[in-house]
Structure formats: C-alpha cells, structure tokens
Structure 1
Amino acid sequence: MNSRQHTAGGASRRQAMAEHVMRQGSASVTDLAEAFGVSVMTVHRDLDELERQGMVRKFRGGATAQASNVFESNIVYRRTAHQEEKEAIARHVARLIEPGSSIMLDDSTTALAVARHLGEVTPLTVVTNFLEAIKLLAAAPGIRLMALGGEYHPTHDSFLGVACVDAIEAMSTDMVVVSTSAVSDRYAFHQEQEIVLVKRAMLRSASRRVLAIDHSKLARVALHKVAPLDDFDTIVVDSRAPAEAVQLLREKHRNVEIAEL
C-alpha cells in the first residue's frame, strides 16, 4: 500500500469510527480497536484527529458523542442525527414546492433531505452552497443546478464566506429552505457567525422563506440570532415535537405545519 492509499484508508476509518461513536453515544478505546481491527495506539491517534476536527470528545479510555456547539455543526454528526424526523420534514417541504420554480437550499442536512425529494417536483432550478447536495443533484434530470462558491469548509462540507454571500445577493429565488441549530419562541439561532451570514443572505434573496427544524431544536438558543421567526413564511417541524412547544410557536407564528412521521 502506498502512502496515498494509506492516508485515504485512515481517513475512511476515522469517519467510520466517528459515526460508530455517534450511533453508540460513546465507545471505549479497546472496543474501537476490536471493532476496526487496529491497535489501541492507532485508535488514540484517530481519536486525537477526530477531536481536533470537532467530531468527538475524548475522555480517558474512550470517546463520547456528547454534543457541544462546535460538534453539533459537524457534518458527520448532523448526517446521523434525527434522520427519521428530517425525512418526514423533507417529504412535507417537497409538497410545498411548485414545479417550474426556483429554490435555494442551505447547508443543513434537513435541506439535504429535501434535495433527495426534488426529483418528484421537477422541473426546478436549485441553488445551494452544500457540496453534498451539489453532488446529489448534479445528474438529476429536470433540475437546473446552480452552485454557490466561496471558501470551502470541510467541517460543514459547504462553501461560505464573502464570496458566497455575494453570489447569493446576486440572485432571487422563489423559495429558500433553511434549518437552524436552535429555535426559541421568537428567534432562530445558530452558533457560528459565518453560517449565520450566509443564511441571512439566503433569507433576503427569496420570496418565500421556509424554516425546517426537527423537534430537538425547539426551546433552545445559540450564540447568534439568524432571524426573527416572523421573517419566515412557513415553519415545518416534525410530529415528535412536544405539543406545548408547538402551541407556543403557533401563538407567535400562525403558519406552523407538522410533518407526520
């Protein structure tokens, strides 16, 4: 095996290891060594790298998937969290989209779930900064795909920064679908400033604004306010949301729709 193959193999193993920890919640070094057929020393090195990337938290003898603000933004964590709820939300949001319209998607995994259903409502023009969504839609029939550039951030698998904001501001779409990491009864929040700036630009560039959030985001706050809930035309949340949280949302925002699992 040459050095390039070895590096690629290590990266693949580390991603699988991170996903394993996230599914289990935590894992010991010895369990990981056995599961992946590598030495304890290799596991320690892998966990050091995963912790550096914000994917896991190390503790003595193992690692945990306990989320911190940075960890929650990581694409590997977001891919594995609340998949059933996101799929229900995606099906619901897809029914709100009119064939022949233009839609902008942010770099949330909820929006990615929506992207998987867009073939059902073609023709469409789709605009996104999320690399995984770009790859998914690149060969999709009936979809005109427009990719937003900028600085690539591997932690989010998306393009961000000034160039991305400038590209968004040069466009006007019929709808935008965004998700955020936290929602109170008045605001949508996110913990990272660069992502907030992109989401705000997207909201300014669309005629209809949809906030798609799973129930784990409700009654929470994060560091940065993305937008008041009044800025959204529709809020879609999954049916596992507590009734009292939904009622509170509806008292402040009339157009709250429930995606049935």
Structure 2
Amino acid sequence: MLTPERHQLIVTLVKEKDIVRIHELVEATGASESTIRRDLSELEEQRLLKRVHGGASVLQSKIEEPTILEKSVKHEREKLAIAKYAASLIKPHDSIFIDAGTTTYQMLPYLPYDNIMVVTNGVDIALQLIKRNIRTILLGGELKAATLSMVGRDAITALSQYRFDKCFLGINGIDQHHGLTTPDPDEAYVKQLALQFSDERFILSDSDKFSRVTFAKVGDLQGITVITDDGLSQEEQQVYGRLSTLKVVKA
C-alpha cells in the first residue's frame, strides 16, 4: 500500500471510530508499527488527527460536546457492560449520586435494590428511577438541553446539602497527565462536588475516552475507581492502573 493510500485509510478509520489503536492500524494497513507511528506523526502535523497514548483520535475542539443522542448510539455494548458492573456495587440503603449521562443511564435497569436514596442531576435518570419507586432527588437549576442535566448555581447549592456512600459519574476525557475532564465548566463543578461529598467514587468510561483531554478539569485520578471495558490496551491498563483503581470489564 502506497503512503498516500495508507494515510487516507488511517484518517478514514479515525473518523469512523473516533479513536483507533496502533495494533488496529497495523492490521488494517499491513504496515509495521514503526511505519504507523511515523504516519500518525505526519498526519498530526497536518492537523488531520490527534495522537494519543497507543493510537490516534479524531481532532476535536476541547469545548465541543456531543449531544445525548450522539452519545447514546456509540459504544453501546461497552457502556452496557460497564453499567451492569457499576450497578452491582450498590448495597441496600446506600445513598448515591448518579450523574447525568448515557452510561450512567444504562445502570438503571440493573439497580439491585429499591431501598436506596438517589440524588441525580439527570432529568431522564430521575424519570426512570421514580418508575421503580426508588426515592429520588432531582437537583434544581438550569436545564442543559444537550445532556438533559441540571447545572448552575441552584444545582450546586442543592448538591452541597448531601453526602453519599457512592457516586457514579460519566466523563469525556481521562488522561494520565491532566486527569478527568469534561467540556462544560458548569457540569465539571457538579462532578467535582459529587466526588468531594462521596465516600466511594466511580467513573464510568468506555475505553475510547482514555488519553483524551477536554476543556474543564474535574479532578485527578488518585482515589478514584475507573470502570472501563476491555478495549483498553494492556499498556494503557498498566499506566492508568498505577494512577487509579482500574476495573476492566469484558464487553
């Protein structure tokens, strides 16, 4: 395969999958790993993609955020496996915070107990919880249409009144140097407080979110349990396993 053809294939795969690993590109192109690494450097210089740990991702603005509909159709199998495991961690009489998001939403059918207290900033999450007769508090504030989440001063004021056994949060970026990030500072602050007020803290993230950085810092990886899928390479598992408690589930 000629270099221009290989470059075009790499760019196409990145656009289709959002993020691809080096071993996937080696298999797709038949080129050596060193050649692929060189290709990625050249394509990054041309601003056609972004190099990340172990592969490449689509070039995306740090403040750009997919809508809830766009998120819901991506990595469905991985999100379901992550959500099932996360739900299994809940105990009777737990007080928990469930963050707005498509992966956290997938937890709801698998909640093992009804005798829990849930605080959430997700409108769609609250509606599903009350169908289960689970005691639910929906934070007030400004409704963010793109993610169906409550944010702003009123949400922060309400959240500050509660303390949790566990919190379950979605995230847009996990990076070994920059920690946990999300595009919206208002959502970042809600997540920060949920982490601060919880005894056990869980981040639910499919493997494509790793080595990504978005605009607003949520927190560091220390003291966090990250639940992800087996699409994370062994090298990345070692890196992030040193920085956090990493639980990898089979998708």
TM-score, with length taken from structure 2: 0.73
Judging by fraction of residues, say which structure has more helix. 1
Name the counterpart of 1:148.
139
The secondary structure found in structure 1 opposite 2:238 is: helix
Name the counterpart of 1:133.
125
Name the counterpart of 1:185.
176
Name the counterpart of 1:50.
none
**Residues 70 and 136 of structure 1: is their aligned pair in 2 closer, same or farther, counting only changes over 3 Å?**
farther
**Equivalent-residue separation in structure 2 for 1:194 and 1:229 (angstroms):** 20
Name the counterpart of 1:259.
249
**Equivalent-residue separation in structure 1 for 2:249 and 2:128 (angstroms):** 23
Q: 2:75 aligns with which of 74, 82, 92?
A: 82
4+ runs of 1 displaced by more than 4 Å? 65-71
Name the counterpart of 1:243.
234
Q: 2:149 aligns with which of 158, 178, 192?
A: 158
1:98-247 to structure 2, matched below 5 A, reads 98-118=91-111, 120-141=112-133, 143-186=134-177, 187-232=179-224, 234-247=225-238
- Structure 1 unmatched ranges of 5 or more: 1-22, 26-64
Q: CA RMSD in A?
A: 2.3
How many correspondences in the alignment? 197
**Equivalent-residue separation in structure 1 for 2:86 and 2:237 (angstroms):** 17
TM-score, with length taken from structure 1: 0.70
**Equivalent-residue separation in structure 2 for 1:112 and 1:197 (angstroms):** 20
Cα drift, residue 67 of structure 1: 6.3
- Structure scoring higher RCO (CA < 8 A, sep ≥ 6) equals 2
Cα drift, residue 71 of structure 1: 5.1
Name the counterpart of 2:28.
none
**Residues 136 and 69 of structure 1: is their aligned pair in 2 closer, same or farther, counting only changes over 3 Å?**
farther
- Structure 2 unmatched ranges of 5 or more: 1-15, 19-57
